[in-house]
Amino acid sequence: MDRLANKIALVTGGASGLGKGIAQRFVDEGATTFITDVAEQGPAVAESLGASFLNQDVRSEDEWQQVIAEIVDQHGRLDVVVNNAGIFSSCPVDETPLEDWQRVMDVNLTGVFLGCKYAVRHMKQNPGGPSGSIVNLSSVVGLRGQLGGSAYSASKGGVRLLTKTVALENAKVGIRCNSIHPGVIETPILDPLFAASEDPAAMRAGIEQSLPIGYMGEPARDIGNTALFLASDESVYITGAELVVDGGMTIGLP
């Protein structure tokens, strides 16, 4: 229960879904954990987890500076940053409005860039010398294309290579950066898809049958535990890696 003992961690988009699952595992394993979000339920979720809440729009450079400065002012260091906040988009490239493309890029890619930028700056100033772990949430569609997912897949592919560059730039100073690539995980992001289906149960069954493992993933168990490993000292020799957590989704054609 102490794999993250004495570590100070920040998880963006922590009010629901993958972020909530990650934050729960961090709290369980002893990290002093902050979640940020723009969602109204953020403070209540943080309280239920045993975490602290800060309001943050990850597209804002000013808010990134304020959030990390507040955490460091309170605790004197920053050990883990999980860039999880993101939005989904599904639209063919020739039908995608420019403003929708830009909104996805601003949240999913620019938000991660800013998180890496200010995490590295502060992790370099940690007492005892530079140290820290940055975990970026990409996707299986950051590894391959997706029908109707031009903006989303482009943003997640960008996260994948941004991660490797940040890892390369900071490897010798002891700051690690890795990406997680989830497949189909049971989160509220799927709710609109099921709601729009004429037969949600059949849709769910179809998705699960297409996965080699036969079922959808769970936020805390599958993504939370992966982030926990990357945040902990157990993965101290891992940087620039991409961990695919997809129930076998990408290992072969359905």
Mean pLDDT of 166-189: 96
The string of pLDDT tens digits covering residues 40-54 is 999 999 999 999 999
Compute CA 108 distance to the chain's CA centroid, rounded to the nearest angstrom: 10
- Asked if residue 253 belongs to a domain, the reply is no
Position 165 scores a pLDDT of: 98
Look at residue 215 and tell me if it is in a domain.
Answer: yes
The answer to whether the CB of 218 falls within 8 A of the CB of 175 is: no
Decide if 23 contacts 85 (C-beta within 8 A). no
Is the per-residue pLDDT at 101 higher than 70?
yes
- Mind listing the pLDDT tens digit for each residue in 213-236? 999 999 999 999 999 999 999 999
Q: Decide if 71 is inside a domain.
A: yes
Lowest mean pLDDT of 135-144, 156-165, 195-204, 220-229, name the range: 195-204
User: pLDDT tens digits, residue range 180-194?
Assistant: 999 999 998 888 888
Query: How many domains are there within the chain?
Result: 1
Q: Tell me: the pLDDT tens digits for 140-151?
A: 999 998 888 899
Catalytic residues: 152
Residue 38 contacts residue 14 (beta carbons within 8 Å): no
To which residue do tokens 């949240």 refer?
107
Partners of 52 in the β-ladder: 34
Q: How far apart are CA 102 and CA 237, in angstroms?
A: 36
Average predicted confidence (pLDDT) for the chain: 96
Residue 1 lies in a domain: no
Q: Which two tokens stand for residue 66?
A: 């304020």
Q: What is the mean pLDDT of residues 47-71?
A: 98
Report how far residue 136's alpha carbon sits from residue 131's, in angstroms, rounded to the nearest whole number.
Answer: 17
Residue 249 lies in a domain: no
Q: Is the CA virtual torsion 144, 167, 244, 50 positive or negative?
A: negative
Whether residue 248 is contained in a domain is answered as no
Average of pLDDT values for 83-90?
Answer: 94
Domain CATH number, residue 143: 3.40.50.720
Can you give the chain as a three-state secondary structure string? CCCCCCCEEEEECCCCHHHHHHHHHHHHCCCEEEEEECCCCHHHHHHHHCCEEEECCCCCHHHHHHHHHHHHHHHCCCCEEEECCCCCCCECHHHCCHHHHHHHHHHHHHHHHHHHHHHHHHHCCCCCCCCEEEEEECCHHHCCCCCCEHHHHHHHHHHHHHHHHHHHHHHHHCEEEEEEEECCECCHHHHHHHHHCCCHHHHHHHHHHHCCCCCCECHHHHHHHHHHHHHCHHHCCCCCCEEEECCCCCCCCC
Would residue 38 count as lying in a domain?
yes
pLDDT of 60 above 90: yes
Query: Closest by alpha carbon to 209, among 164, 248, 159?
Result: 248
What is the separation, in whole angstroms, between the first and last Cα of the chain? 39
Average pLDDT over residues 113-125: 98
Residue 123: domain span: 8-243
Could you tell me if residue 46 is inside a domain?
Answer: yes
pLDDT given at position 253: 65
Q: What is the pLDDT of residue 149?
A: 87
* Residue 254 banded pLDDT, cuts 50, 70, 90: low
